[in-house]
Chain A
Amino acid sequence: MSGTALQARGLVKRFGDLTAVNGLDLEVRTGTCLALLGPNGAGKTTTIEMLEGLTRPDQGTIKVLGLTWAGQAQEIRERIGVQLQETRLTEKITAKETLRLFKSFYAQSRSIEEALGIVKLEDKANDFVETLSGGQQQRLTLACALISKPSLLFLDEPTTGLDPQARRNVWDIVESFKSEGGTVLLTTHYMEEAERLSEEVVIVDEGRVIAEGSPQGVIGRLEAESIVELHPRDGGAQRLEDAQLLGLPGVRDVRRAAASITLSVTDTQASVGALLGLLGEQGIALETLQTHAPTLEDVFMDLTGRHLRDA
């Protein structure tokens, strides 16, 4: 797999005084998945809508499958599949009829049965949209995006609001699309989703890219073996000073929340051992102590000091 399916350079979009996207570059290689990651309001949706041709950028260039929106919009639309956030399909229309409508828009398409099969809704073919569960409706909108056999798929927060099982179903569909050589651009604020589906992640905050690379590469930048989170009892967190913690072997970074402290450590065993010694000396009791391998969430925390979800 080689070549570029999607390329954006220097994208800028302003809404009045607000600069939603501020000089953003992106490149998605053919046959891979790129995840745009960031908190609400980071400019993910504005970015993906510019790439989909729904919003015109104030500055910057976009090439989709080697084509431009200015000259070859209809050709692009024939070849991309899109799932928008919050599309509510017509309630009194069946799953099959919904697909039949979308199919009618394209010059080339797969059969309705095949599309229903891909999203495992064969037995719901004749049910009205209103009777489908949230997860089933989401799979139906995915089927609408896939009916035209697109080579590039845009997914804007495809699993937001779904339960874990429904989320995994969506992931399976995206993975099977990729296994057939499809390219995916995904926005999400679920780390697990980005780590599982994408070869490349781009973390955006306030309209610009703050980190990019493979999930492992981006996480590797933390240069941490693990993340240690401790919740001392009875306001014990205040009695521990940053300098003391940074003095412990293997501790790279200290971050504080209300009653907890998060450490990035390069040597889990040495750091945790020393940490427990320090707590013992100071007579601080622990509520909980957790260690986990670093995730994209920790990268975001490290870069912005905020959590992805509630930022």
Chain B
Amino acid sequence: MLRGSALLELTRQRVLAFLRRPEAVFWVFAFPLVLAAVLGFAFKSGKAASSRIALLEESSVLFERLEGAPNVELELFSSRVQAELALRNGHVDVLVLEGEPPVLRLDAARQEAEVARLRVLVAISEVESDRLALDEVTERGSRYIDFLFPGLLGMNLMGTGLWAIGFAVADMRQRKVLKRFLVTPMRRSSFLGSFLLARLVFLVLEVVCLTLFAVWVLDVPFRAGLLQYATLCLFGAIGFAGLGLLAASRVKTTEGVSGMLNFVMMPMWLCSGVFFSYERFPDAIHPVLRLLPLTAMNDALRATMLEGAGFGQILPELGVLLFWTVVPFFLALKLFRWS
């Protein structure tokens, strides 16, 4: 029997043990698809939401002027008390009361209220719309869903990379299987290599499923070179695998590793531009945020996928990912405990 087959056998069993757990398969494959689908459909339509404007039934003058105004939905209330209640719990965006001039009641902290105020203002002051010509953005690649998808893919690669390795290693250590392997002639490199290989198998499945879904169903543009896209995903996957290995290098229990992995991932969920751009954070910390592996992954994915950027343009991000590949692996090998 060939020695090299230990690597393949370990890999095969990693894959089998995973596929035989339906709940794990759901969280890795189905859940991101569901998330992308829900968010995708929620943000796919380019139509602006209407403003809901409350009026009292007796306000007939206002009713006439506002009825039929663009993007305005009127709600009539028989009493002031009911109208105030609807305003308070966010059922309507503003309440307009008759008077000279009419009075607008609103909560200034709500963005929808500001939008509604402008729409009411335009409707009652009869500003001619040709004072400002409109040209709507409709190209694919500039909608929110186009921004969101690469972030979701990056987040998923991070999650599965960290969990697949971190959790499995801690679990095997807890079950004393690592220790059992240690008294066999199994090479440690085969063991660690099998995690990477198994990871690559799932990486292909994950990336292909999610990307096809995004392109076909959500109509997200794909302007990337395939080789560059594949390389980038590979870089990311291996980087996150190293981080997962590092997180699990010492922890003795699966509970311990869960906490550790959440600790590692939480800052990146928030700060790496998954759901919203990290540009919203103060300028001073942008350079720091760009050093996070998920930020680099997301930026590079967006540039590659949406803008068709070449290798040359994503070199800084690849550099960051390479750093996160080499350093955690090296540290993990130093710190790793088998028992």
Contact = CB atoms under 8 A, between A and B. Distances in A.
Interface of A: 52-54, 74, 77-78, 80, 82, 84-90, 92-93, 97, 100-107, 109, 128, 144, 148, 154
Q: Give the bracket for the number of chain B residues in contact with chain A.
A: 20 to 34
5 contacts: A82-B183, A92-B17, A93-B16, A104-B5, A104-B10
Contacts of B21: 92
A87 B1 contact: no
A88 B176 contact: yes
Given A77-B184, A102-B184, A105-B181, 7 more contacts: A77-B185, A87-B177, A89-B177, A100-B9, A104-B1, A104-B6, A106-B184
Contacts of A78: 185
Nearest to B178: A87
B175 A87 contact: yes
Contacts of B6: 104-105
B185 A107 contact: yes
B13 A90 contact: yes
A80 B185 CA distance: 10
B16 A54 contact: no
A86 B21 CA distance: 23
Ordered nearest first, which 4 A-B pairs have the shortest CB separation? A92-B20, A104-B9, A88-B175, A105-B186
B339 interface: yes
B180 A84 contact: yes
A86 B339 CA distance: 12
Nearest to B191: A105
Contacts of A89: 175, 177
A171 B134 CA distance: 88
A100 B12 CA distance: 11
Contacts of B16: 92-93, 97
B296 to A, nearest CB: 35
B1 A109 contact: yes
Contacts of A103: 1
A103 B184 CA distance: 10
Contacts of A90: 13, 17, 175, 177
A41 B123 CA distance: 85
B184 to A, nearest CB: 4
B209 interface: no
B180 A93 contact: no
Given A84-B180, A87-B179, A105 B185 contact: yes
Nearest to B6: A104
Contact of A82 (B1, B8, B180, B186): B180
Given A87-B175, A93-B17, A97-B16, A52 B9 contact: no
Nearest to A106: B185
A144 B179 CA distance: 14
Interface in B254-310: none
B183 A88 contact: no
B182 interface: yes
B110 interface: no
A260 B257 CA distance: 51
Nearest to A74: B185
Nearest to B16: A93
Q: Quick one: which of B16, B177, B182, B184 has the most chain A CB within 10 A?
A: B184
A97 B13 contact: yes
A84 B10 CA distance: 20
B3 interface: yes
Nearest to A100: B9
Contacts of B10: 101, 104
A87 B180 contact: yes
Nearest to B176: A87
A54 B339 contact: yes
Contact of B179 (A54, A77, A101, A105): A54
Contacts of B181: 105
A107 B179 CA distance: 20
Interface string B1-43: 1010110111001001100110000000000000000000000
Contacts of A86: 176
Nearest to A75: B185
Contacts of B180: 82, 84, 87, 144
A77 B9 contact: no
A240 to B, nearest CB: 49
A93 B6 CA distance: 16
B13 A84 contact: no
B176 A52 contact: no
Contacts of B177: 87-90
B191 to A, nearest CB: 10
B183 A54 contact: yes
A288 B1 CA distance: 62
